[in-house]
Homo-oligomer: A and B are copies of this chain.
Amino acid sequence: MDDIPPPPPLIDDLVEKNKDVHEKLLKNSETASSQYGVNIFIVGLFLMFAVYLKIMGLTESDRLMFLVILMLIQVVWMIFYICVSDRKKWAPTEKDGHAGARWLRCGIVLFAITTLVMHALKLGYFVGYSECIPIIEGIYPVTHIVHTFFQVYFLWCHSKDVIKSFKTLERFGLIHSVFTNLLLWASAVATESDHQLEEHMERLKSLGFTNLTLTYPTDIAHLECNCSTNLCKDFKKGIYYIYPFYIEYQILASAMLYVLWKNIGNKTSHLHHKNKLNFDGVYVGCFLGLIVMAATIGIVAIYLLNIGRSKTNSEAALSIYYFYSITVLGLMSIGSLLGLVIYKTEKTSVFKEKSPAVKLDAELLVGSSIGSWIISWGSILAIIFAEHHPTYTWYNLPYSILVIVEKYIQNLFIIAYINHTPQNNLKASHIEIPIETGQVSVPAESTDFTTSKGIEVQQQASMQNQQSKKDKTHRPPADRKNNNRKLVLKNLTVLLFLCNLSLWIPPAFGCRPQYDNGLEATVFGIMPWIVLIDVALPFSIFYRMHSTYSLFDVFCKI
Report which A residues bind B (CB closer than 8 A): 1-6, 8-11, 13, 16-17, 20-21, 23-25, 27-28, 31-32, 34-35, 38-39, 42-43, 46-47, 49-50, 53, 55-58, 343-344, 347-352, 362, 366, 369-370, 373-374, 377-378, 381-382, 385, 404, 408, 411-412, 415-416, 419, 424, 431, 435, 440-443, 446-448, 450, 453, 523-525, 528
CB-contact partner of A412 in B31, B55, B58, under 8 A: B31
A419 contacts B24, C-beta separation under 8 Å = yes
A373 contacts B39, C-beta separation under 8 Å = yes
B453 contacts A5, C-beta separation under 8 Å = yes
B447 contacts A34, C-beta separation under 8 Å = no
A464 to chain B, nearest CB (A): 13
Minimum CB distance partner of A351 in chain B: B20
Query: Bound state CA distance, A43 and B5, in angstroms?
Result: 64
Interface core residue of A343, A349, A378, A435 (most chain B CB under 10 Å):
A349
Query: Bound state CA distance, A1 and B453, in angstroms?
Result: 11
Q: Which residues of B contact A415 (CB under 8 A)?
A: 27-28, 31
Given contacts A8-B446, A46-B381, 13 further A-B contacts (CB under 8 A): A5-B448, A10-B435, A27-B415, A27-B416, A31-B366, A31-B411, A34-B366, A35-B366, A38-B370, A42-B374, A43-B381, A55-B523, A55-B528
Q: Which residues of B contact A27 (CB under 8 A)?
A: 350, 352, 415-416, 419
A496 to chain B, nearest CB (A): 17
Q: Which residues of B contact A3 (CB under 8 A)?
A: 448, 450
Q: Which residues of B contact A385 (CB under 8 A)?
A: 50, 56-58
A366 contacts B435, C-beta separation under 8 Å = no
Minimum CB distance partner of A370 in chain B: B38
A24 contacts B350, C-beta separation under 8 Å = yes
Q: Which residues of B contact A448 (CB under 8 A)?
A: 3-5
A35 to chain B, nearest CB (A): 5
Query: Could you jot down 22 A-B contacts, CB within 8 Å?
Result: A2-B450, A3-B448, A8-B441, A10-B441, A16-B349, A17-B347, A17-B348, A17-B349, A20-B424, A23-B350, A25-B344, A27-B415, A28-B415, A31-B411, A35-B408, A38-B366, A46-B374, A46-B378, A50-B524, A55-B524, A55-B528, A56-B385
Query: Bound state CA distance, A349 and B21, in angstroms?
Result: 7
A10 contacts B431, C-beta separation under 8 Å = yes
Given contacts A1-B450, A2-B450, A448-B3, contact A362 B39 (CB under 8 A): no
Query: Bound state CA distance, A278 and B478, in angstroms?
Result: 66
B446 contacts A6, C-beta separation under 8 Å = yes
Query: Bound state CA distance, A8 and B377, in angstroms?
Result: 54
A157 to chain B, nearest CB (A): 31
Q: Which residues of B contact A9 (CB under 8 A)?
A: 431, 441
Q: Which residues of B contact A6 (CB under 8 A)?
A: 446
Query: Bound state CA distance, A205 and B215, in angstroms?
Result: 32
Q: Which residues of B contact A42 (CB under 8 A)?
A: 370, 373-374, 377
Q: Which residues of B contact A343 (CB under 8 A)?
A: 24
Minimum CB distance partner of A43 in chain B: B377
List the 4 closest A-B pairs by CB distance, nearest first: A56-B385, A20-B349, A5-B446, A24-B350
